[in-house]
Amino acid sequence: MARTFDKTIYQSFKEVTDPSNVAPRNAALREKLAEKQLDAFLIPRTDAHRGESLPAAEQRLAYVTGFTGSAGLAIVAKKKAALFVDGRYTLQAPDQTDTNLVEIQQLPEAKLSDWMGKNLSKGARVGFDPWLHTPNEIRDLTTKLGGHAELVPGDNLVDMIWVDRPLPPKEKVELLGTNRAGVSAKDKLKTLQETLRAANADATVLTMPESICWLFNIRGRDVPNTPVVHAFAVVHKDKKPALFVDPDKLGDSEKQRLAETIDLHSPEDFEPALADLGKAKKRVWIDPATCPAAVASLLTDEGANLYEKTDPVSLPKAIKNAGELAGMREAHRLDAIAMARFLSWFDRHAPGGQLSEIDIATALEAFRREEPTLVDISFDTISGSGSNGAIVHYRVNTKSNRTLVPGELMLVDSGGQYLSGTTDITRTLFTGAASTQQKHHFTLVLKGMIAISQVNFPPKTTGAQIDVLARHALWQKGLNYNHGTGHGVGAFLSVHEGPAGIAPRYHVALEAGMILSNEPGYYLEGEYGIRIENLVHVIKSNVAEDYLAFETLTLAPIDTRLIAKDMLTNLEREWLNAYHARVLSDIGPHLETEDKAWLEKATAEI
């Protein structure tokens, strides 16, 4: 029996913005340029917290250019304007902005500094909001400009012209008990203070919501997809830390409980607190890659001494404690039930040839939302059929939506934010009869995924070192994928987190407790995309003392009809069969008859 879904619950099909707004807004901005004696102004797609999701009040780039992609930067000069976007957005950007007024520049080939060299006269003054750029970004741009133009920090010109700007989020803060957080905020603070003392730092300024939420065992709903509170914090090596957060976000009971370990302040108190650290000549640990340049200058202007290094919360947050792990396991169990029901539904309905990408994404979200502890999906679902699956960061919208034809592959990358934890899973779906080529490519990707699942490695091994194991089978056939193999995943936090991952750029040692994605793929342009993604958890290996290995957290069947069985080694086949047996025994009991029968078939030995 067919089920129906309320498609309005699916929030992810972005409204197409109106390009006719671009002219008046650029004009208003240029008036401000003249007023402030500036020649140009920078508008990055970010806020002071640098998260993937932005509150509506921080969507300055979309307000000025119409462009709603997840990354980009505009520069509006007196006569000209440009929008820099990466390869994901070369189609979307011109569609959303007014290309008569804004030229689209493709990163990484196009460089902002080159554009400024060409389009601004020598000695030009370029304004920027120091809360929206990091010290590293400003230094890098200054170096590249080589004296051609001057970067001038100041108030944000967009905020001055923004009519009906949405209010900042005021969602309530939730406190995690130690049962969920695993370790009390008090104990986490103690460890952080030891780290500060060992680095000879008097304090650190935290500006990343994930770091603050993890440290203080709080969560929020300030942005979609990621359950964070937007706030700032100062942690001193030897006294109570200060949290700067809108008091409206805190209930009385939360205030009282937080005040036991934290000095609560309004956000307005943040700048004076930085100045105080400066006046006291403190040595302050900041992360120059993530903190706003404003933080660094407020500190140093008053005499603070900066110690620049990766956010000190980043590494301890990545190493999950027992409570977090238990939650992540529970979240994966809940997510696997939804996935099994979804895949079973897909197998029943896909052969009819009527399902669109939006139908499929909507159905998956509906299955997830049947679980009451789901807070949100963890990112906009990637639901790409046929050739759309080959676009690595594809997000379906009403214009791109395709109907899945039997014989086509379908790539679905999705995840959930449950109260217990965060999930991220990709499966390559299929209906019809798979071609030899489809099976060949799918099996090469699977071999890579299994290689990571099965590897044992010594201490101090980095994700950069093991990345090739996921690519080796593809490389031997002259194939590859143009993205990393894995990223860190937060525990009821951001679905993408540092500092560890599996890709050539990750030089942080993997440690027991880290949770990473394992997601090799293959993309045949114009034809299909294949990706298989499980989350894995770094555990102690049994091959030798100190050796590490991965335990797979994700529990959903991998379509065995897409496997060329003779391409698998015995060890690979054994891994797959054992994995499927675990999926069946862990998830089967939670399914009703029809779905359970489907799962038994889907997890049958090969």
Q: Please give the residue ranges that form the binding site for a second copy (CB under 8 A).
A: 454-458, 462, 464-469, 472, 475-480, 504, 541, 543-544, 547, 569
Nearer Cβ to a second copy (426/462):
462
User: Cβ distance 205 to 241 under 8 Å?
Assistant: no
The distance of closest approach from Cβ of residue 194 to a second copy in the complex, given in angstroms and rounded to an integer, is: 21
Pick between residue 132 and residue 452 the one whose CB is nearest to a second copy.
Answer: 452
Q: What is the DSSP letter of 396?
A: -
CB of 544 to a second copy, least distance (A): 3
Q: Which two tokens stand for residue 385?
A: 């059929």
* Shortest spacing between CB 512 and a second copy, in angstroms: 15
Rounded least distance, CB 162 to a second copy, Å: 42
| C-beta of 105 vs 485, nearer to a second copy | 485
Q: How far is the CB of 558 from a second copy (least distance, A)?
A: 22
Helix, strand, coil shares, percent, the chain, to 5: 40, 20, 40
Task: Encode burial over 18-32: b for 16+ CB neighbours within 10 A, e otherwise.
Answer: ebebbeebbebbbeb
- Structure letter (DSSP) for residue 298: H
| Contact yes or no for 381/364 (Cβ under 8 A) | yes
Q: Toward a second copy, which CB reaches closer, 410 or 470?
A: 470
Question: In whole angstroms, how close is the CB of 571 to a second copy at the nearest point?
Answer: 9
Element (H, E) at 243: strand 242-244
The whole-angstrom separation of Cα 393 and Cα 408 is 19
Q: Which is nearer to a second copy, 101 or 455 (CB)?
A: 455
Which residues, including other chains, have CB under 8 Å from residue 567's CB and lie 6 or more apart?
440, 443, 444, 447
3-class SS letters over 365-377: HHHHHCCCCEEEE
Which CB sits closer to a second copy, 340 or 508?
508
CA 426/CA 58 separation, integer angstroms: 30
Q: Which is nearer to a second copy, 78 or 483 (CB)?
A: 483
Q: Smallest distance, Å, CB 288 to a second copy?
A: 18
Q: Which is nearer to a second copy, 291 or 390 (CB)?
A: 390
Cβ neighbors of 53 (< 8 A, separation 6 or more) are 223, 224, 225, 226
What are the angstrom distances between the C-alpha of 77 and each of 43, 83, 127, 381, 447? 11, 11, 10, 36, 51
CA distance 59 to 165: 9
Give me the least distance between CB of 311 and a second copy, in Å please.
Answer: 23
